[in-house]
Structure 1
């Protein structure tokens, strides 16, 4: 472990850590892991840390960020024009603070060769196993996964872990219409039907709905249906076909198609991940 100043460091979780080395350790490390830290969107890391990361990268070291450690890598400029990810709670903040970074909100990790990033803390394990697979082979990474009691490879992206995929509204003009629709997701819902409920023209409804939520009315309806499907997969024993009917998607094939597109996994895989046998 290394840091700007060697010695004891108080962690945000109430634990103290002893940092053995200063930033000079980055002069010989082959891979530099940047851990996540609290409030990454408030200020950049110390300039000495930024300079040390850039110097390590320039001499050929790989830089791998865990969770919000992506903000430190982004501060170096090394992620500009490249794909990267971070914890889903901070993806929008990373986009706003570093607009040149191509933030991917869904994946568990991103490998851009010399710079790598991961989503939440558990996704750091996925990233490390990925690095082992590339450096030492599948057998070594599988052995490490067994020692960790972890999945050697997790399918899907982090979108399946976000509490709700429906975006938070920026205004409340159509709050009543959205609430009305949420109680009728199993029924046919078209732009005309929603606009009629809101008592405006379809064109006006569509334009103002995008301003208020950041997505089109039908995108919002689809995400709301997928959210309801997630809840039914977690809390009921209903089949995928039954759930597809319940949420207004008609067939299991249709539900699987949109579930995969939005969450990066299948309904069956999602159910296995988020339910447990009694």
Structure 2
């Protein structure tokens, strides 16, 4: 397994796909907004995910669902920094889901291990410069806008080749700003400026292997996203529940493991952790 430089030693020694558990410290995330909004709730949830088999947890303080209100960096820090500090103090590897450079900087100083930027550097002009001064892995996601599921921007002649080209452009910008190439993780951005069939196309085995062949570790985040309520042709599934989406997520994790994907980002950790360990 190819790991990014700067990943903590216990994780970097694992020779399999990692499981990243989602901890939303938000009132309005699409699947669990408000459930873990207090620091105490978020910390307890994160520890439960680790107990269930999460290798690291991804702590976020701003919802990226369509129509969600933007959160400024001060409020985001108020939400996530106590959680990050407490988890680091208990030895939990923490990724921080943020598009704000100041949040990334302060959370890394508090001991966070990874920065997960859903804007791919488009959300804050200072993000690349901040990460260039650090040694932590930087997850750079494909995104054409700051909002998720922006159908106006979901125009592709060939979704795989265009996503790859746009990721390569952002990688070049990140490297030009001083971020080390071996610290970069890429994410194809499922659910962001993509229609349902685009997402399913990116999840085809050959597409996953093509993305994974770019020379960077890959994070895949399909969990509970809207497109899971559809078939690959875009038609609606007769049953679309969180349980059904969680079951589909496990199937996608199996594809990810087969393609050699670095990590999967999931809400329901136990089933995915069991799968990745069984597949090795």
The alignment's TM-score, normalised by the length of structure 2, stands at 0.24
The alignment's TM-score, normalised by the length of structure 1, stands at 0.24
- Give the number of the structure whose residues are more often helix, by fraction: 1
